Amino acid sequence: MALIVQKYGGTSVGSVDRISQVADRVIETAKQGHQVVVVVSAMSGETDRLIDLANGLTELPAPRELDVLLSTGEQVSIALLSMTLIKKGYQARSYTGAQVKILTDGVHNKARIINIDGSAIADDLGNGRIVVVAGFQGVDIEGNITTLGRGGSDTTAVALAAALKADECQIYTDVDGVYTTDPRIEPQARLLRRVTFEEMLEMASLGAKVLQIRAVEFAGRYGVPLRVLNTFSDDPGTLIALEEKGEKKMEQPLVSGIAFNRNEAKLTVLGVPDQPGVAAKILCPIGDAAIDVDMIIQNAATQGLIDFTFTVNRTDFERAQAILVKVVAELGAEGIVTDKKIAKISLVGVGMKSHAGIASTMFTTLGQEGINIQLISTSEIKVSVVVDEKYLELGVRSLHAAFGLDRAPEEEQLTG
């Protein structure tokens, strides 16, 4: 007998028929002898309906009251799923975030979980009940309702799994799991059976939007095995877990997947006098304007001058550019060059930590296709390049083939 936390998103509970299907899936798990805690989101469309209501009254709803409003979405879902489980002959009990006591800080609309009191849930599980918990919401120390921000239900599920020391946290979505790359770009993309938390973090932050990045961080920190599955299929999905120890590691594929992001823009400050503190002088005003910076590249100085390049979200591009105009004047730099038509392609894989050849294979492959590399950035488990946006699909497909991602590694087994 294991303790399983299952999370179902808004699409999975988007109608009474689908809620009934989810109930069947939960019951299937319970029938296998497992204890089940279910975390649900609001029915799809419901959160938008509530926001529309609020916006009919005020463009900027008071954050505390917006949380009171939005948290009703998940509350409806837990009640409907619980009554369905009960109707199907199973004992079930719903909990709002406040009822569990999912304690968060007091930052409305994007609260962070501080602590979870799992005792009531553990009692219920011990008494043979299925427990249904509202995702996305919590309560601060003063009893105010808080929400964790969009997608926060994943975080609720992982945090509950950690608090309850669950054996697995299963995130049900409308895709089969995590792929080597986006199947819409590379039809040969293959479903990954297992990735590490670090790989998943790189995949998620680079655009493979399967899981909330916060949830993956949380799972990694507490070592909660995370599984991504499809609500509407029986595929065992992708397990996200710690790196496997021992021999298997030797045979691990070098590259797990190829992530990409076409939502960035590049800004370069040319001819900056090379002095200590220059990078801070350029990036601090950008950070002060709450603009997130992704890649940062500074080349070696030539004749006392450096070029300084970074990328931002395309939506922040105009604001960043306006800030740089002032910075250039202050620093006595030569000017700015920008490019909004770029795309970032990243190889991700824990296997590349000890394989220097990965990067050169990547650069060679892109070069053979005539794709010019504008920027390069590397970390322990990824290599990212920025290229002209028009080469995105070609780049992804050629790298997918070059690293043999369409072929399943021989040692890989189904783990579900």
Which position among 28, 87, 233, 280 is part of the footprint of its own copies (CB under 8 A)? 87
Kindly indicate which of the ranges 24-32, 88-96, 307-315, 406-414 contains the residues binding its own copies, using the contact rule CB under 8 A. Answer: 88-96
Instruction: Answer for the pair 319, 342: CB distance below 8 angstroms, yes or no.
Output: no
We find the least distance from the C-beta atom of residue 201 to its own copies, in angstroms, to be 34
57 lies in the binding site for its own copies (CB under 8 A):
yes
11 lies in the binding site for its own copies (CB under 8 A):
no
53 lies in the binding site for its own copies (CB under 8 A):
yes
82 lies in the binding site for its own copies (CB under 8 A):
yes
Number of residues that bind its own copies (CB under 8 A): 37
Kindly indicate which of the ranges 85-93, 106-114, 175-183, 382-390 contains the residues binding its own copies, using the contact rule CB under 8 A. Answer: 85-93
76 lies in the binding site for its own copies (CB under 8 A):
yes
Nearer to its own copies, 26 or 306 (CB): 26
16 lies in the binding site for its own copies (CB under 8 A):
yes
In single-letter form, the type of residue at position 219 comes to A
Range 89-148, binding its own copies (CB under 8 A): 92-94, 96, 98-99, 143, 145
54 lies in the binding site for its own copies (CB under 8 A):
yes
We find the least distance from the C-beta atom of residue 93 to its own copies, in angstroms, to be 7
Which position among 4, 37, 50, 102 is part of the footprint of its own copies (CB under 8 A)? 50
We find the least distance from the C-beta atom of residue 57 to its own copies, in angstroms, to be 5
13 lies in the binding site for its own copies (CB under 8 A):
no
41 lies in the binding site for its own copies (CB under 8 A):
no
359 lies in the binding site for its own copies (CB under 8 A):
no
Residues that bind its own copies (CB under 8 A): 16, 19-20, 50, 53-54, 56-58, 60-62, 64-66, 68-69, 71-72, 75-76, 78-80, 82-84, 86-87, 92-94, 96, 98-99, 143, 145
